Structure 1
Amino acid sequence: MNNSKLLTTAGKASILFIVFAFSTLCFAQDSDKVAKELDSVALKMFNDVNERNYDGIMDMSYPKLFEFVPREVMVNVFKSMFEGNDEFTVDIPKLIPEYEISEVFKVEKDSAEFAFINYDLKMSMTFHDIAEEGFDEEGKEMMVDMMKMQGMEAEFVSDNTIDVIMPNRMTIMVNDKLTNGNWAMINYDTNSPLFYQILSAPILEKAKDYYQDLLIEHKKKD
């Protein structure tokens, strides 16, 4: 190969390398931007819960949820839970738990993006309807066993108050046509029939696989 061909070949290779490097840089910058955006959304979710900002929590909730449960009803449910009702009060410590955010996945057909955030949720429950007599030892054991069957770690700190750790909680963050370009949240809850009516099949399938892999990886660390 003569010098002119070598120069031409080298020139083309240099251009291709520059284009590739620039594309990779742009992709990395876009990925970094999305990662920061998701982190900001996650922090807002935790802060809204800490501040008992019910409207903020509703604003971040996936819109289709309100097709099944009116927003006002959801607000009342949260108020009843955090501020107490005749049966019990839930207290979630005002802190930001350690959390992990997945990569962003896409559903091309629906023009949807989604990601997962997982964390351990700590809370305590105080039962008011049995405040006078409290749980006896048999009742405490039954309550702890029942929560254990649901994947929770529980311990009574008094006769009517129980501390609970819900490990490997997962929230799905979705950005699609319904959210108007914003990230919205919905808890991964396979025990709720309503959950399966809100999200599309591709998101549900990926969420199931991701959560199972998450449990297996955490089991390996035990």
Structure 2
Amino acid sequence: MKKLIMCLLALSFTAAVAQDAPIIQKDFQTIIGYTRKLEIDKILDMTYPPMFKLMPKEQMSAMAKGVLTGMGIKTIYEEVPVGLKLSPLKKLSNATICLGKYNQSMILESTQPSLVDMIAKAKMKDNTIEKLAPGKVRIKGTNYLLAIKDANTNGTWKYLRYDDEDVETNAKILPKEISTNVALMKAALK
């Protein structure tokens, strides 16, 4: 009887994984599309809710929009092969997670060359920065997005940026078990 129950549980998890993988794949594509169109509020609607404990959603939206327009920065997302790779889904004690890796390229333009020079000197582990002209740089590289389903998401998938630049912020909102497993997933996706 015990073996039968274990088999049924394994089959139900396998069936759930089979249903979840296409949802995650579609959601990743949707988020990438929203990012290219700079649809900040739609991205935030798909964001992992504990992120808003650090900063309210409305404030995060206003700040993101303000940075993009207020500093005279124009952002253009280039069409590049996304090359989306997903890790296998991982069931943890209180969550299920999946990590996605994809390519992205954007051009930042500004009427303030000193601002662009400052961006050009930034150190980014997963991206390269190329100065194209005074006031214009390209940031190109690999980005990571974490899919999470847990008590905070009401049984739906929500997402969180997981680039190296986001590690400190993510450590404030993610349980240690998730952070540890995502680090392993990221190493496997390299």
Q: 2:110 aligns with which of 127, 152, 156?
A: 127
Asked whether 1:185 is paired with 2:168, we answer no
Asked whether 1:200 is paired with 2:162, we answer no
Structure 1 residue 106: Cα displacement: 1.6
> What letter is aligned with 1:98?
G
Gaps of 5+ in 1: 1-19, 216-222
1 CA distance for matches of 2:37 and 2:169?
Answer: 27
Q: Map 1:79-90 onto structure 2 (within 5 A).
A: 79-82=65-68, 84-90=69-75
Contact 1:189 1:195 in 2 (8 A): no
User: Residues 95-145 of structure 1: CA distance to partner in whole angstroms, max 9, x if unpaired?
Assistant: 77220111111222x2x11110101221111132238xx98xxx6xx865x
Q: 1:158 to 1:42 in 2, by over 3 A?
A: same
Structure 1 residue 171: Cα displacement: 0.9
2 CA distance for matches of 1:79 and 1:214?
Answer: 31
Q: Percent identity?
A: 19
> Corresponding residue for 1:54?
40
Q: 1:31 to 1:58 in 2, by over 3 A?
A: same
> Corresponding residue for 1:220?
none
State the number of aligned residues: 183
Q: 2:55 is paired with a residue of what secondary structure?
A: coil
1 CA distance for matches of 2:27 and 2:91?
Answer: 18
Q: TM-score, normalised by structure 2?
A: 0.81
1 CA distance for matches of 2:31 and 2:25?
Answer: 10
Q: 1:185 to 1:113 in 2, by over 3 A?
A: same
Contact 1:43 1:96 in 2 (8 A): no
> What letter is aligned with 1:130?
P
Q: 1:154 aligns with which of 129, 145, 149?
A: 129
Q: 1:156 to 1:33 in 2, by over 3 A?
A: same
> Over the residues paired in the alignment, what is the CA RMSD in angstroms?
2.9
1 CA distance for matches of 2:76 and 2:176?
Answer: 34
Q: 2:50 is paired with a residue of what secondary structure?
A: helix
Contact 2:113 2:134 in 1 (8 A): no
Asked whether 1:44 is paired with 2:39, we answer no
Q: 1:31 is paired with a residue of what secondary structure?
A: helix
> Corresponding residue for 1:11?
none
> Corresponding residue for 2:53?
67
Q: 1:26 to 1:211 in 2, by over 3 A?
A: closer
Contact 2:81 2:103 in 1 (8 A): no
Q: Tell which structure's C-alpha radius of gyration is larger.
A: 1
Larger strand share, 1 or 2: 2
Q: Map 1:81-120 onto structure 2 (within 5 A).
A: 81-82=67-68, 84-93=69-78, 97-108=82-93, 110=94, 112-120=95-103
Contact 1:86 1:128 in 2 (8 A): no
